[in-house]
Amino acid sequence: MNKPLKHLATLAALATATLAAAPAFAGKTLDAIKARGQLACGVNTGLAGFSAADSNGNWTGLDVDICKAIAATLLGDASKVKYVPLTAQQRFTALQSGEIDVLSRNTTWTLTRDASLGLAFTGVTYYDGQGFMVPAKGKIKSAKQLKGATVCVQSGTTTEKNLTDFSRANKLDIKPVVFEKLEAANGAYFAGRCQAYTTDASGLASIRNKEARNPAEHLILPELISKEPLGPAVRRGDDEFFAIVKWVVFAMIEAEEYGVTQANADQQKTSTDPVVLRILGVSEDAGKLLGLDRDWAWRAIKAVGNYGEVFERNVGPKSPLGLPRGVNNLWSKGGILYAPPIR
């Protein structure tokens, strides 16, 4: 290699090394969040276990905990969240317009939404599937017995299209009764206007627990007719913020896998496990690659716990919803939850 070419090769190698080691730029969304001192998080108007406010305006739920974890990561305080309750029709416009920074609202990741709405899904926080609920006193034990039935469904959702597809594929001639708002659909079903109710199975469990006079009087049928991977979404065009939200969720999953909890996160900083030390920013500073400091993941875990703790607290077997962990368990425990490594 002649001298000029060798010189250029050396410069290229140095440039590559410099870029690899350089911290990420903060990104315009993070700048805006820091300037206002608050994360604007879009949530459901009221779905117990996922996002619901009590009479004092305190929000709880799995989706809410994702908002809190992001706020703790970015602002050092899980309470610095502005919750923006959104209907199914409002949610994407609110994100596109900049009214919210992140949408954490039981929203299914689909190709159409991912490719055509100017947003990007950051991962899956709950693997779900669409089901049906019927009065237990009836003779219906399977969704395929719903021939000619009226079924309550919310508009502007994947649920509506799935219902049509299921009815057509099985020649059931199901008659959808469509409502714009979740509350209206709930009221119609429990008033007897529909013979069945369809939405995500987790949503049915939430609605049955919260709205039914006697939850035992309503049966959730065993079939799931779709895949509904639910997760947060952000606006396209800010790769830095996209990476942050994605890795906050991954850190919560990885923390569960390696036994880092809300209670022991401080103690684990003296662990001998190299993976734990990386997650908590002790041995390596992965935060600088995200435009954050080295304690970013530690703050998220201290705020809400690892993924397993969030699941159990909000929707798990010991919660009012009583949902089994199922496919939402770690890959090492028979589920499909799997996070890329923090390294």
Which CATH number characterizes residue 158's domain? Answer: 3.40.190.10
Give yes or no: residues 43 and 154 share one domain.
no
Q: Name the band, by pLDDT with cuts 50, 70 and 90, for residue 24.
A: low
Is 134 contained in some domain? Answer: yes
Per-residue pLDDT, 154: 94
Give pLDDT tens digits for 133-166.
Answer: 999 999 899 999 999 999 999 998 999 999 999 9
pTM of the model: 0.90
222 and 137 in a common domain: yes
Q: Are residues 107 and 256 in the same domain?
A: yes
Alpha carbon distance 168, 171 (integer Å): 5
Number of domains in the chain: 2
- Same domain membership, residue 76 and residue 112: yes
Do residue 190 and residue 276 come from a single domain? no
Give the pLDDT mean for 160-188: 96
Q: Tokens representing 102?
A: 């992140």
CA 243 – CA 205 distance, rounded (Å): 32
Same domain, 240 and 119: yes
Q: Among positive and negative, which fits the CA dihedral 92, 245, 224, 196?
A: negative
CA distance 202 to 241: 28
CA dihedral 197, 47, 252, 124 (to 10 degrees): 40
Q: For residue 65, what are its two tokens? A: 């905990």
Specify whether 142 is located in the same domain as 183: yes
CB 144 within 8 A of CB 169: no
Q: Residue 91 pLDDT > 70, yes or no? A: yes
Tokens of 289: 């690659």
Residues 75 and 110 grouped into a single domain? yes
Contact at 8 Å (CB) between 142 and 258? no
* 17 pLDDT above the threshold of 90: no
Residue numbers of the domain that contains 152: 130-226
Do the domain assignments include residue 339? Answer: no
CA dist 141 → 146, 180, 195, 197, 205 (Å): 9, 28, 13, 14, 17
What is the pLDDT at residue 23? 54
User: Does one domain contain both 191 and 63?
Assistant: no
